[in-house]
Structure 1
Amino acid sequence: MYLGLRGKALVAAIGFCCGSGFLLLGYDQGVMGGVVGYSGNTFAQVFNNPNPTTTGLMVSIYEVGCMFGSIAVIAWGDRIGRRMSLVVGGIIVIIGTILQVSSYSRAQFIVGRIVAGLGNGMNTSTLGIYQSETCPARNRGKVVTCEGIMAIGGVWVSYWLDFGMSYTNSTAQWRLPLAFPAVFALAMSGVAFFMPESPRWLVMKKRDEEAKQVLAALAGRDIPPDDGSVLALYTSIRQATDYENQVGGEFSYRELFTGRDLQNFRRICLCFGIQLMEEMCGINLITYYMSNVFLQIGTSYFMALLLSGVNSTTYFISSFVPIWLIDRFGRKSLLIYGTTGMMCMMIMLTVSLSFGAENLTAGIFAILSIFLFNIFYATGGWMATPFLYPSEISTLRIRSKGSAISVLSKWMFNFLVVMISPVAMANIGYRTYVIFIVLNFVFIFVVFFFYPETKGLPLEQVDMIFEGGDPITRGAMRRRRLEPHDFAQDLQEKHEHGRAGHVEDISKTA
Structure 2
Amino acid sequence: MAPLLNVYTISILTSIGGLLFGFEISSISGVIDTPQYKEYYGNPLGATQGGITSAMPAGSIIGALSAGLLGDWLSRKVAIQAGAILWCIGAAVQAASNGIGMMVAGRLLSGICIGLTSSLVPIYQSEIAPRKVRGRIVSFQQFAITWGILIQYSIQYGCSFLQSEASFRLPWAVQAVPALFLFIGLFWFPYSPRWLASKDRWDETLKVQAFLRTADNDINDPLVLAEYREIEDQLRSERETETRAIGELVSRKMRRRVLLALAMQIGNQLTGANFLDYYILYVYNSVDIADSNMAGFIQYAIKVVITIPVILWSDKWGRRPILIIGALVMAACFFVAGGLYSLYGEPNPVPDEPYAWVIDGNIRVSRSIQACLYLAIACFNLSWAPAVWIYSSEVVPLRIRATTVSLALTCRWTINFAVGFAIPPLFRTTKWGIFIMFGFFNVASSTVVYLAAPETKQRTLEEMDEIFDHGKPLWKSFLALQETNRLEKMARDIEMGK
Same fold (TM over 0.5): yes
Which SS does the other structure have where 1:384 is aligned? helix
Give the one of 33, 36, 39 matched to 1:42: 36
Residue number in structure 2 paired with 1:413: 415
Does structure 2 conserve the Cα–Cα contact (< 8 Å) formed by 1:212 and 1:234?
Answer: yes
Deviations 1:56-90 (A, max 9, x none): 10111110100000111123321111110111011
Structure 1 alignment gaps of length 5 or more? 489-504
Residue 326 to residue 334, structure 1, CA distance change in 2 (3 Å): same
- The letter for the 1-side match of 2:147 is G
- The letter for the 2-side match of 1:115 is L
Give the one of 242, 260, 270 matched to 1:280: 270
Residue number in structure 2 paired with 1:242: 236
1:54 deviates by 0.5
Residue number in structure 1 paired with 2:28: 32
Give, in whole Å, the separation in 2 of the partners of 1:203 and 1:509: 24
Residue number in structure 1 paired with 2:247: 254
Give the one of 300, 306, 313 matched to 1:325: 313
1:422 deviates by 0.7
Residue 361 to residue 314, structure 1, CA distance change in 2 (3 Å): same
Give, in whole Å, the separation in 1 of the partners of 2:254 and 2:187: 32
- The letter for the 2-side match of 1:337 is I
2:460 is aligned with 1:440: no
Residue 487 to residue 56, structure 1, CA distance change in 2 (3 Å): farther
Residue 15 to residue 117, structure 1, CA distance change in 2 (3 Å): same
Give, in whole Å, the separation in 2 of the partners of 1:12 and 1:23: 16
- The letter for the 2-side match of 1:18 is T
Residues 51-450 of structure 1 mapped to structure 2, 5 A cutoff = 51-247=45-241, 249-259=242-252, 263-300=253-290, 303-354=291-342, 355-356=344-345, 357-358=359-360, 359-380=362-383, 382-450=384-452
Does structure 2 conserve the Cα–Cα contact (< 8 Å) formed by 1:101 and 1:179?
Answer: yes
Which SS does the other structure have where 1:222 is aligned? coil
Give, in whole Å, the separation in 2 of the partners of 1:509 and 1:118: 50
Deviations 1:91-122 (A, max 9, x none): 11111111111001221111111111111111
1:485 deviates by 6.5
Does structure 2 conserve the Cα–Cα contact (< 8 Å) formed by 1:96 and 1:115?
Answer: yes
1:164 deviates by 1.1
- The letter for the 2-side match of 1:299 is I
Residue number in structure 1 paired with 2:351: none
Residue 364 to residue 390, structure 1, CA distance change in 2 (3 Å): same
Deviations 1:351-405 (A, max 9, x none): 121111023221111111111111111222x222111111211101011111111
Deviations 1:294-322 (A, max 9, x none): 0121234xx11110011211221111121
- The letter for the 2-side match of 1:308 is G
Give, in whole Å, the separation in 2 of the partners of 1:174 and 1:306: 17
Does structure 2 conserve the Cα–Cα contact (< 8 Å) formed by 1:27 and 1:155?
Answer: yes
Residue 179 to residue 154, structure 1, CA distance change in 2 (3 Å): same
Give, in whole Å, the separation in 1 of the partners of 2:205 and 2:376: 43
Which SS does the other structure have where 2:164 is aligned? coil
1:7 deviates by 5.0
- The letter for the 1-side match of 2:109 is V
Does structure 1 conserve the Cα–Cα contact (< 8 Å) formed by 2:223 and 2:487?
Answer: no
- The letter for the 2-side match of 1:216 is A
Does structure 2 conserve the Cα–Cα contact (< 8 Å) formed by 1:387 and 1:403?
Answer: no
1:169 deviates by 1.1
Does structure 2 conserve the Cα–Cα contact (< 8 Å) formed by 1:485 and 1:509?
Answer: no
1:246 deviates by 1.1
1:473 deviates by 5.0
Deviations 1:430-469 (A, max 9, x none): 1111111111111111111101111111111122101133
- The letter for the 1-side match of 2:404 is G
Residue number in structure 2 paired with 1:15: 11
1:479 deviates by 2.7
Deviations 1:233-282 (A, max 9, x none): 111101011111112x25432211111xxx22111101111011111010
Give, in whole Å, the separation in 1 of the partners of 2:401 and 2:468: 15
Deviates more, 1:290-299 or 1:29-38: 29-38
Residue 228 to residue 251, structure 1, CA distance change in 2 (3 Å): farther
Residue 216 to residue 251, structure 1, CA distance change in 2 (3 Å): farther
Give, in whole Å, the separation in 1 of the partners of 2:414 and 2:489: 37
Give, in whole Å, the separation in 1 of the partners of 2:194 and 2:487: 20
1:6 deviates by 7.8
Give, in whole Å, the separation in 2 of the partners of 1:250 and 1:215: 28
Deviations 1:148-205 (A, max 9, x none): 2221111111222221111111111111222232122122222112211000011111
Does structure 2 conserve the Cα–Cα contact (< 8 Å) formed by 1:350 and 1:430?
Answer: yes
- The letter for the 2-side match of 1:348 is V
- The letter for the 2-side match of 1:14 is I
- The letter for the 2-side match of 1:186 is L
Does structure 2 conserve the Cα–Cα contact (< 8 Å) formed by 1:256 and 1:264?
Answer: yes
Aligned residues: 481
Residue number in structure 2 paired with 1:494: none
Does structure 2 conserve the Cα–Cα contact (< 8 Å) formed by 1:7 and 1:219?
Answer: no
Residue number in structure 1 paired with 2:349: none
Residue number in structure 1 paired with 2:455: 453
Residue 33 to residue 199, structure 1, CA distance change in 2 (3 Å): same
Does structure 2 conserve the Cα–Cα contact (< 8 Å) formed by 1:8 and 1:220?
Answer: no
Give, in whole Å, the separation in 1 of the partners of 2:480 and 2:56: 40
Does structure 2 conserve the Cα–Cα contact (< 8 Å) formed by 1:449 and 1:477?
Answer: no
Percent of residue pairs bearing the same amino acid type: 26
Give, in whole Å, the separation in 2 of the partners of 1:132 and 1:24: 20
TM-score after normalising by structure 2: 0.92
Deviations 1:415-437 (A, max 9, x none): 11111111111111111111111
Residue 325 to residue 13, structure 1, CA distance change in 2 (3 Å): closer
Give, in whole Å, the separation in 1 of the partners of 2:22 and 2:483: 34
1:481 deviates by 3.0
Give, in whole Å, the separation in 1 of the partners of 2:235 and 2:421: 41
Tell me the C-alpha RMSD between the 2 structures.
2.3
Which SS does the other structure have where 2:455 is aligned? coil
